[in-house]
Amino acid sequence: MTKPVTVTFTDLALDDIAGVAGRVAVFVTPDGKLDKPARRVNRLTKGALARMIEEGVLEDMKDGDVKTLAWPSGLAAKALDVVCLERNADALTARKAGVALGKLKEREPMLILASQLRRPVDVAQGIALRAYAFDDHKSDRKTDAPGDVTVMVANPETARAEAAPRLAVTEGVFMTRDLVSAPANHLTTTEFANRIKDMGDLGLKVTILEEADLEKHGMGCLLSVGQGSVSPSKVAVMEWMGGNKGDAPLALVGKGVVFDTGGISLKPAAGMEDMTMDMGGAGVVTGTMRALALRKAKANVVGLVGLVENMPSGNATRPGDVVTSMKGDTVEVINTDAEGRLVLADVMWYAQKTYKPAGMIDLATLTGAIIIGLGHENAGVFSNDDPICNKFLRAAEAEGEGAWRMPMGRAYDEMLKSQIADVKNVGGRAAGSITAAQFLQRFVTEGTPWIHLDIAGVASVKSDTPHAPKGASGWGVMALNRLVADHFEAD
Ligand code: BES
Ligand code: MN
Ligand code: ZN
């Protein structure tokens, strides 16, 4: 797994600044005030900072922006990064400044002079979140020798305590990104299950349901998706019972289609390679479980992922086939490319029957239509319960992860009527993301608060996102972790 950069918090040591190698970052307020370490840097560089400010450089900088002075005289460092930031900036702005610094970081070490900042840990977290590269398959691996980050702060002990759970979450985000980035010939259903099994070391109870088990449970929908592939279908279950004994858990359910060709309803060639990220929902569930275990969350949470590959073959499901779900409802498969909902239907039903969860959240790269609706800025949020939905929306907002609620309703459900089965798996072109959500809701039991997150637009993005370089974003790990921390933890 890609490891986040090592961050060390130390006391301010002004006399060390001149001699450090790599990059040095100082903070300047939007109105041009220099703090103590910035004044020292200004003196060492014979007034370079003051000249920069006099020339009005700050005027076109926003809170959290960075300007770099290269090879500054008076410093051993190769770059001086000047960050425009209010000293009491809020968490997200401080993190944004960190992200800007993390973007500049390559293999060199970094010294962050943050002793006068209210939120140095958020800056550090921003650096760690952005300083990511998926180079498992590059001969020249940049992440083999990452330079460490040192943050000089007013109170190193407080900062260290605050940073520990953040590092856990960052590791969860990185696990998600690694999974989402992995090519499908490497990340097979078996390899995915193995990576989950390895998390047993963290205290998670991991169970893998194999095809024979899935058949016993009657998961005909899920199995119909994977039957065209030589990779066996699996359901992986991760239990983290860190809360009160006997309290019903929160269930997280993920779509884990390791590759989606569309099946017999084959997708066009152009861009099909992107469907290596179609296990994004399962990736977020896995990364979140990792974060919760690493920070030893006092909560009961169970993560379940349906791992399948959607391939065309002589043994694949045909359009028009009728399959039976674990719930017992029959489904007419009109389009084998609408496979995610088939996988989720059975895993969600299994989650509810097995755990009687206090709430259930499913995540899936479910529809192209959600990208048409919301682009890459927001995931689509669908829910049958306002209280849990609002809690999630607040958690996502606090973490800077875009999430936008979408409507549901009976009229949309009508669009899924089948002539020959209980339901069909597609509802037509109109409202494609909503009819997908309606399909899922048929597999939610009365009284279970449920959220469906359609993350097709946010799981992997072709340009930089607020916390990640282009590629897998890890969207959702931070929001779900915060939702658990704020609403599902025992005191
Ligand atoms: N995995 C896709 C959805 C998707 C599209 C994810 C683009 C990420 C980026 C899903 O399985 C799918 O193929 N959905 C179809 C549904 C249709 C057949 C009703 C779609 O969106 O076209
Ligand atoms: Mn599909
Ligand atoms: Zn899919």
* Mean pLDDT, rounded, of the chain: 97
**So what's the pLDDT on residue 143?**
65
**So what's the pLDDT on residue 117?**
98
**So what's the pLDDT on residue 110?**
98
Return d(Cα 221, Cα 301) in angstroms, integer. Answer: 25
DSSP state of 159: H
Nearest CA to ligand 1 atom 14: 367
What does the domain layout of the chain look like in residue ranges?
Answer: 7-156, 170-487
Burial of 78 (C-beta count, 10 Å sphere; 0-12/13-18/19+): middle
pLDDT bracket for residue 491 (50, 70, 90): confident
| Beta-carbon count within 10 A of 10 CB | 15
Structure tokens at 23: 């990059």
Whether the per-residue pLDDT at 380 is higher than 90: the answer is: yes
**So what's the pLDDT on residue 231?**
98
Stretch 313-322: mean pLDDT, rounded? 98
Cα dihedral angle (363, 365, 369, 375), rounded to 10 degrees?
90
| Beta-carbon count within 10 A of 272 CB | 14
**Distance from Cα 259 to the centre of ligand 3, integer Å:** 8
**Opening angle at CA 359, ends 356 and 361, nearest 5:** 115
**Distance from Cα 60 to the centre of ligand 3, integer Å:** 43
Ligand lying closest to the C-alpha of residue 308: 3
| Cβ-contact 46, 75 below 8 angstroms | no
**So what's the pLDDT on residue 490?**
87
**So what's the pLDDT on residue 214?**
99
**So what's the pLDDT on residue 331?**
99
| Cβ-contact 336, 316 below 8 angstroms | yes
Stretch 411-430: mean pLDDT, rounded? 98
Mutate to test the pocket of ligand 1, among 261, 266, 366 (most ligand atoms within 8 A of CB): 366
What does R_g of the chain's alpha carbons equal in angstroms?
Answer: 24
Structure tokens at 12: 């301010």
Return d(Cα 276, Cα 284) in angstroms, integer. Answer: 15
Q: What is the pLDDT of residues 57-74, one digit of tens each?
A: 999 999 999 999 999 999
Stretch 216-230: mean pLDDT, rounded? 98
pLDDT bracket for residue 404 (50, 70, 90): very high
CB 365 near ligand 1, within 6 Å: yes
CB 233 near ligand 1, within 6 Å: no
Q: What is the pLDDT of residues 431-478, one digit of tens each?
A: 999 999 999 999 999 999 999 999 999 999 999 999 999 999 999 999
Tokens 């890890």 sit at which residue?
474
The secondary structure of the chain in percent helix, strand, coil, rounded to multiples of 5, reads 40, 20, 40
Return the bridge partners of 10, or none.
Answer: 152
DSSP state of 376: T
Query: CATH fold of 7-156, please?
Result: Leucine Aminopeptidase, subunit E; domain 1 (3.40.220)
**So what's the pLDDT on residue 146?**
80
Atom of ligand 1 nearest to the CA of 278: 1
| Cβ-contact 381, 453 below 8 angstroms | yes
Q: What is the pLDDT of residues 18-72, one digit of tens each?
A: 999 999 999 999 999 999 999 999 999 999 999 999 999 999 999 999 999 999 9
Percent above pLDDT 90 for the chain: 98
Residue 5: alpha-carbon gap to chain centroid:
18
Percent above pLDDT 70 for the chain: 99
Q: Which CATH class is domain 170-487?
A: alpha beta
Mutate to test the pocket of ligand 1, among 261, 337, 429, 438 (most ligand atoms within 8 A of CB): 337
Instruction: Give backbone dihedrals phi and psi of 200, rounded to 5 degrees, phi first.
Output: -55, -30
Q: What is the pLDDT of residues 251-300, one digit of tens each?
A: 999 999 999 999 999 999 999 999 999 999 999 999 999 999 999 999 99
CB 300 near ligand 1, within 6 Å: no
Q: What is the pLDDT of residues 172-190, one digit of tens each?
A: 999 999 999 999 999 999 9
Mutate to test the pocket of ligand 1, among 278, 317, 412 (most ligand atoms within 8 A of CB): 278
CB 260 near ligand 1, within 6 Å: yes
**Distance from Cα 335 to the centre of ligand 2, integer Å:** 9
User: Residues of 28-62 as b/e, b for ≥16 C-beta within 10 angstroms?
Assistant: bbeebebbebbebbbbbbeebbbebbeeebbeebe
β-pairing verdict for 460-461 and 79-84 = unpaired
Nearest CA to ligand 1 atom 17: 338
Tokens 């929306």 sit at which residue?
393
Nearest CA to ligand 1 atom 3: 367
CA distance from start to end of the chain:
32
Nearest CA to ligand 1 atom 7: 368
Whether the per-residue pLDDT at 145 is higher than 90: the answer is: no
